[in-house]
Amino acid sequence: MQDHWALTRSKLMSLEDVLARTNAWRLAGDKIVFTNGCFDVLHLGHVTYLAKAASLGTRLIVALNTDESVRALNKAPNRPIHNEDARQFVVAGLGFVDAVLLFHDATPLSTIEAILPDVLVKGADYDAKENNKESKKYIVGSDIVLKNGGKVETIDLVTGHSTTLILAK
């Protein structure tokens, strides 16, 4: 019998753990996909987005904003709803997610620089072709991933399913 709790816990990693795992995955020929976000109140839009991101490669790494970095984004005064440990465990519980780590900075730039994913993914509210780092549509780290021979992709959002809409209800 498989211990699903232990399997889920094994996906919660530090950056050092992710780098070691990523090296092993690359040696095995795996294609590394990276995305990031708050994933505060996991919903259909999130799960659809993450499933589609996972389909762009063979291993999906998800970097989550820490509670402090969520508050710094000023999404709403009561955010995050769920603390970083809860958010990390819930995302790790998705079968197609291979690793979940936290990042403390305003952006995941240093995490992306360290991992150098084969595919960097964001929602379609961003623009994979945007080069202006000051633009709200710019995907942080896209220049680094492209220079390293990787790809940058966007995924359409599921209309009517967002954390903001859920909290408004």
Report the alpha-carbon angle 63-12-52, nearest 5: 50
Structure confidence by residue, pLDDT tens digits, 121-164: 999 999 999 999 999 999 999 999 999 999 999 999 887 777 66
- Segment 105-134 mean pLDDT: 96
Domains contained in the chain, number: 1
CATH number at residue 48: 3.40.50.620
Q: What proportion of the chain, given as a percentage, has pLDDT over 70?
A: 94
Specify the pLDDT at position 167: 64
Output DSSP code: residue 30: P
pTM above 0.75, yes or no: yes
pLDDT the model gives residue 1: 74
Whether the pLDDT of residue 79 is over 70: the answer is yes
Q: Give dist(CA 60, CA 118) in Å, integer.
A: 10
121 strand-pairing partners: 153
> Which phi and psi (to 5°) does residue 44 adopt?
-50, -45
Mean pLDDT within 108-114: 98
| Banded pLDDT at 89 (limits 50, 70, 90) | very high
125 is in which domain, residue-wise? Answer: 4-168
What are the C-alpha distances in Å from 75 to residues 46, 62, 69, 81, 95?
A: 17, 20, 11, 11, 28
List the one residue out of 140, 148, 105 whose CA is nearest residue 121: 140
Average the pLDDT over 72-101 and give the result.
90
| Dist. CA 27–CA 44, nearest whole Å | 34
Answer whether residue 41 shows pLDDT above 90: no
